[in-house]
Structure 1
Amino acid sequence: MAGRSNVTDAQPAQRLSNPWVVLFTLLVVSIFNFADRYLITGLIGDIKAEFNVDDGYMGLLIGPAFVVLYVVAGVPIARLADKSSRVKIIAAGCVMWSACTLATGFATGPVTLALARVGVGIGEAAFAAPAYSLLADYFRPERRGMAYAILGLATYFGQIAGQAGGPALGAAFGWHAAFWIMGAPGILLGLLVVMLIREPQRATSGPSAVVQIPFMTIVQRLKATPAYLLMMGSMGMGTLSGVAFGFWGPELFSRVYAMDPVQAKSAFAISFGLSGMAGMLCFGFLADRLSQRDKVWPLRLSGIALACATTMILFATWSDSFRIALLFAVPAGLLGGGWSVGFMAMLQYLLPVQFRASATALFLAVTTLLGFFLGPWLAGEISSQLGNGGDALRIGLSCIMPVGFLGGWLALLASRRIERDRLALADE
């Protein structure tokens, strides 16, 4: 297969899955991953009404309650993925987060709801780093941009399913049933992963052998790698900006424009989601084409797109009408839809295979902590202090989102260091 990496060439006797079957299986898993993550944001109003909580608590619930154990569990899970079956780890995580999504529907108060969200976070920690590492073994570097872009479509399919499908299900059957309906299929999907994907055999000897390197040794090597640190800061700032808007945006539209919540949240999810999908695919295509000239181009594109997307979502936040806000959704999605692809493609290019999954998990742990912990919580807390209204939420978001400009600048700085730092990591 043209998409397969050099791993398949090194292990000709092993029969592997078709790379595109692997990719689309992981895409479906990832869609449920993000749908379960975004589902609660589409049901904020119903949950607040039943449990009598404010924006600050909901921000805590959709941010820190989810992300703390997502981060804590992510690194040891990735360490396991560097030396054992990534396929089994992904399957187990899928079953766990789906079961905890089901459990969310059985919540009887704020505490049990928070505990279920913690469980979702632990399960989802088993997906990202092993999945990107697995795809790096199935696709050559010059094809990874499009592969990661296709996987990245799950963000928007999941957003639409969670933020548009969730309120529709909630209106029809109640918000508890929405979690049951969205969570149940993922349990079967976890079993399907094991049936469809074969784990590539990794070398046990020679220069490409995968040897378990002590974690603190990895940390010390990464601390001395400026490109890695700059990319981490850049993606962290971009995630902080984008996640705050992505999680609170549907609620903002509902409050500011005095619309029916289901209609407003569906329009938000579909408008930003569809344009984001188009942006993701365009970014993957451009990244693959330009990386044939210079492997660093995907990261440069990410920095430019992140800064421009931040501008667009600020305009959307302060638009005078719902129609104008939706017009800004198109450029915001096109520019913001793919910038994370450049980071993940560049990360797999930068990192040695010996600790690729561990270093990716550490990267995602820090960027996720910044984005998912601080973004939704701070925006919600500022809104609570200002009265929980539409303008209060606008101000809360506007205090957070401009850090995306800093993220774009850091990405451009990182692009200047990639090649020399890659060679330094390979030589150690």
Structure 2
Amino acid sequence: MIRKPRTILALFTALNLLNYLDRFVLSAVLGKVQDELALSNFMAGLLATVFLASYFVTAPAFGRLGDRLARKWLIAIGIVVWSAATIGSGLATGAVALFVSRAIVGVGEASYATLAPTIIDDVTPSARKGRALAVFYLATPVGTALGYIVGGLVEKHAGWRTAFFVAGGPGLLLAMITLLVKEPERVIAEEKADVRRDLGRLVRTPLYRQGVLGYCAYTAAIGAYAYWAPTFLYRRYGIAQSAASTKFGMIVVVAGALATAIGGFWADRVQKRVESQMPGSSEAERDPEVVRGQLGICAKGSLLGTGLAAACFFSTSANMFFAFAFFSILALFMSTSPINAVILRSAPQELRASAMALAIFAIHMFGDLWSPSFVGLLADHLPMQLAMMPLPIAIALSAWLWWPKPAPATATATNASAKASAGVDAA
């Protein structure tokens, strides 16, 4: 059995990398898929919508099951489903078959994305939670970049269909290894499920609500940006699809990995600062202040990323685009670890799987479910750079929504009481 937290983290991080590789290999070969299957920009964007619709619709169900059943079995089944469907995408001979395959990929990925972070959070000591989630979510930019790079290189030498075969294979093996994980002890929701009650508790939690609302706007922008960037380069600057995907992938892996590490380090600094300001308090008492600090990280990253993203789309050359893209990704991906920590730490412990599931549902329903197809629709009628301009606006909205609000008076009084109590104990 796999019991060590670091080994569990390493396994789930590798799987998260494959998760994003399988998701973004389509973006790497999208131009070629459009050419062969005669898809408009709007139809190409709908491929992302279909994937995300199945993803967010099934995520709450996996969250409910994960609060009550063995999570590793649900995760393993999800990995097998998404890996097999990725291979199936390469076998598609028409638009309908490709749409069905991408929808099934979404179902499999929903299980993993909902449940894996909750196991990592359970096995990781409080002082290292930010760093652990940063490592796990480092797979987001790295896996995305590998999707671009693997897709671009394989498409160049063996065609776009082979890219899906290469991407889907490794997950089938790692799914079996997942069954060896020893799940940690946790608070189990034993009473009969009451979905409306549990969702109501989460929605009425101000910090959770604030985090998810900002995440919706952020995801709308990032989802369309990541989906269309290689095709934007291919069509606007005349770069070969394989070269556009590979170069953009290299930028994502370097800037995204660096930004995720910075965000995780910054989140741990926030944790340590709050612990020093509230000595003698419990983790539950500190969590609201930690969450506010982590929301601040997210807001500052989006604020910086707004202008940089706009500059990308009005760049007059591909090299200028790549330069602005590096710094925009550096700013935007700093939120990767902190926002997921916000979702987990602002929710009751017994509802964390449901909290992650509801967040996934919301950010896709109101975020990137529609944004890639919306950009595609605009691109069918406007120059590509104008079609991309709603994305910086959404990034700016996320900064505004995430900006930390002052702590309620009751929370301030509680903090002061904790400090005074610690001072009495010390005396």
* Structure 1 and Structure 2 fold alike (TM over 0.5): yes
**Does 1:372 find its partner at 2:368?**
yes
Between the aligned partners of 1:49 and 1:343, the Cα distance in structure 2 is 38
Select 1:358's aligned residue among 354, 360, 377: 354
Judged with a 3 Å threshold, the aligned counterparts in structure 2 of structure 1 residues 376 and 383 are, in CA distance, closer, same or farther, namely: same
Following TM superposition, by how much is the alpha carbon of 1:45 offset from its aligned partner in structure 2, in angstroms? 1.3
Residues in 2 aligned to 1:103 and 1:70: alpha-carbon distance in whole angstroms: 17
In the other structure, the counterpart of 2:278 is: none
Instruction: Please state whether the residue corresponding to 1:401 is helix, strand or coil.
Output: helix
**Structure 1 match to 2:186:** 202
Displacement of 1:273:
2.4
Confirm or deny that 1:396 pairs with 2:380. Answer: no
TM-score when normalising by structure 1: 0.88
The corresponding residue for 2:380 is 384
- Report the counterpart of residue 319 of structure 1 in structure 2: 315
Does the alignment pair 1:222 with 2:202? yes
Structure 2: which amino acid aligns with 1:230? Q
Provide the rounded CA distance (Å) in 2 between the counterparts of 1:418 and 1:265.
51
User: Following TM superposition, by how much is the alpha carbon of 1:413 offset from its aligned partner in structure 2, in angstroms?
Assistant: 4.0
Of the candidates 62, 75, 81, which is equivalent to residue 60 of structure 2? Answer: 75
Counterpart of 1:396, as a letter, is A
Q: Match for residue 26 of structure 1?
A: 12
Residue number in structure 1 paired with 2:165: 180
Secondary structure of the structure 2 residue equivalent to 1:17 = coil
Structure 1 residue 248, shift from structure 2 partner = 0.5
Q: Show the 5 A alignment for 1:54-73.
A: 54-62=40-48, 64-73=49-58
**Which of these residues, 327, 340, 345, is aligned with residue 341 of structure 2?**
345
**Whole-angstrom CA distance in 2 between matches of 1:129 and 1:179:** 24
Confirm or deny that 1:411 pairs with 2:402: yes
Paired letter, 2:7: V
CA RMSD between the two structures: 2.0
For the Cα contact (< 8 Å) 1:212–1:354, is it kept in 2? no
Give the Cα separation in 2 of the matches to 1:277 and 1:174. Answer: 28
Kindly tell me: are residues 313 and 210 of structure 1, through their superposed partners in 2, closer, same or farther at Cα, counting changes over 3 Å? farther
Q: Alignment partner for residue 249 of structure 1, among 225, 229, 234?
A: 229
Q: Tell me, in whole angstroms, the C-alpha distance in 2 between the residues paired with 1:154 and 1:301.
A: 20
In 1, the alpha carbon distance for the partners of 2:408 and 2:341 equals 15
Structure 2 distance, partners of 1:418, 1:66, is 44
Counterpart contact for 1:210–1:354, Cα < 8 Å: no
Distance in 2 of aligned mates of 1:136 and 1:359: 13
Deviations 1:235-255 (A, max 9, x none): 000111111111111111122
Q: Is the 8 A contact 1:16 1:200 kept in 2?
A: no
Identify unmatched segments of 5+ residues in structure 1: 1-14, 387-391, 424-428
- State the AA in 2 paired with 1:269: G
Correspondence for 1:49:
35
Inter-partner Cα distance in structure 1 for 2:330 and 2:219: 16
Runs of 4+ in 1 over 3 A off after TM superposition: 209-213, 413-421
Q: Supply the AA of the counterpart residue of 1:151.
A: F
CA distance in 1, matches of 2:364, 2:271: 26
Given that residues 163 and 269 in structure 1 are in contact (C-alpha distance below 8 angstroms), is that contact kept between their aligned partners in structure 2? yes
Matching residue of 1:131: 116
- Count of matched residue positions in the alignment of Structure 1 and Structure 2: 397
Letter in 1 for 2:55: Y
Alpha-carbon shift at residue 141 of structure 1 (Å): 2.9
Letter in 1 for 2:307: T
Please give the TM-score of this superposition, normalised by the length of structure 2: 0.89
The reply to whether residue 17 of structure 1 matches residue 3 of structure 2 is: yes
Q: Give the aligned residue type for 2:185.
A: Q
Task: Give yes or no for contact 2:89–2:101 (8 Å, CA) kept in 1.
Answer: yes
